[in-house]
Amino acid sequence: MEKGNRYVSKNWQVLILTLGVFGIINTEMGVVGIIPQIADTFGVTVPQAGWTVSVFALIVAASASVMPLLFSGVNRRTVMLLALGLFTASNVVSALTDSFSILLVARALPAFLHPVYVSMAFTVAGQSVRPEEASKAVSKVFVGVSAGMVLGVPVTSFIASHTSFSVAMWFFALVNASVLLATLFCIPSLPVRERLSYGTQLGVLRKPLVWYSVIGFTLINGAMFGFFSFMSDFLNKVTGFPFDTVSALLLVYGLANIAGNVLAGKIFTRNKLRYMIVTPLFMLAGYLLLFTFGHVSIAAGALILLLGMLAGFVNIVGQYMISSAAPEAPDFANGLFLTAANFGTMAGTALCGAFITASGTRHSLMGTLMFLVLSLLFVSVRCRTTHKLNKELKTNEL
């Protein structure tokens, strides 16, 4: 930081973005663990209370590619302040209201800006460093994503169970307000230097490389979250762990996810194309071993740790796979990444759930394995296409 300059360095900007993403993901996922408290507080059924999660997720999935596109020409700092301000206000309203309808509206409105802030955070982090270091900077932002998912549920559950639902919402508001103030006083104006037309950005959809990347990552993320949605049921019914042990293993999985983010940031830049293939291949092997030895306690615990690490790699691989396919439209590409992630989660959960209905909990892994095999086909084509384009580029330069 230059002397006399009140604004922070690039590294501190990335840290603030990471904390901002943590606050936003925490707001989204934190209520997962307090659905019963919401039902009791507002006098609704548990399925009705579940809409506080569903309405948020559906809006994110539907708007993830559209909203970043619409805001792609707006000053980055303005986007940060707008999103964090809306998240803070919505949490304050959630803490004060006694109307379930108002609570749902308060949950729905900030969801529209969720993909705007997160995609912008990836873009700003990637552009704050040299191109070869972009994946490392983006991996730091992903730590906020993982921490929001890992810590948001248990922390919110602890607060709500020992105090009240309202206090938990005030916690969300405090986190977002803190990052809002840090952004206001520490982040300089970040104007978009080259504003792209909507047509130019949408034009990337004509590139086969983009579609190979989007479909490939949709399948990988669907495989991962399809099983994750039923992991606790698997560990309880198939492995035979009591629920206290299951909770501990879910925390281990989440912490391993964060460790995977950090490790991927350090080594992914060495050979990106290789890790695109290796990551889903290792996942396929890990889930196949879990299907075979999931009834053995030690083996299941070790494999959950491994799969948690690989989940951290998946985030970095998927974001790079899609963003590098459309470098001319970074905000729209990151929006496509979020769309692929959310639709993959929904499709994977539906497929794994169908296998459970047909054959039992253990066979939820069949859906995961099917998605991973298909993903390897698309990733392989994506890598071959990239290799071919790079070869043609070098030939033209000679």
How far apart CA 276 and CA 217 sit, in angstroms, is 10
Q: Which two tokens stand for residue 106?
A: 């308060």
When pLDDT is averaged across residues 282-289 and rounded to a whole number, the result is 97
pLDDT above 60: residue 398: no
All domains of the chain, ordered by start, with CATH?
7-194 (1.20.1250.20), 196-397 (1.20.1250.20)
Question: The whole model's pTM is what?
Answer: 0.79
CB 122 within 8 A of CB 138: yes
Which has the higher per-residue pLDDT, 18 or 181? 181
- Residue 64's pLDDT is 84
Q: How confident is the model at residue 395 (pLDDT cuts 50, 70, 90)?
A: low
Mind listing the pLDDT tens digit for each residue in 94-108?
Answer: 999 999 999 999 999
Interior angle at CA 47, CA 42 and CA 52, nearest 5: 60
pLDDT for position 3: 41
Q: What is the pLDDT of residues 142-155, one digit of tens each?
A: 888 778 777 777 78
Can you give the pLDDT at residue 103? 95
For the chain, how big is the Rg over CA atoms in Å?
21
Give, in order, the Cα–Cα distances in Å from 205 to each of 208, 324, 374: 8, 13, 21
Rounded CA-CA distance 113/90 in Å is: 12
**Is a pLDDT exceeding 80 seen at residue 195?**
no
Residue 160 near residue 279, CB atoms below 8 Å: no
**Percentage of the chain surpassing pLDDT 90?**
37
Question: Residue 170 has what pLDDT?
Answer: 95
Q: Are 368 and 348 in contact (CB under 8 A)?
A: yes
Summarised one tens digit per residue, pLDDT across range 244-254 is 888 788 888 88
Residue 179 has pLDDT above 60, yes or no: yes
Are the beta carbons of 256 and 277 closer than 8 angstroms?
A: no
pLDDT above 70 as % of the chain: 95
Range scoring the smallest mean pLDDT among 21-25, 65-69, 110-114: 65-69
CA distance 4 to 193: 25
Res 197: pLDDT: 76
List Cβ neighbours of 243 (8 Å cut-off, separation of 6 or more): 232, 236
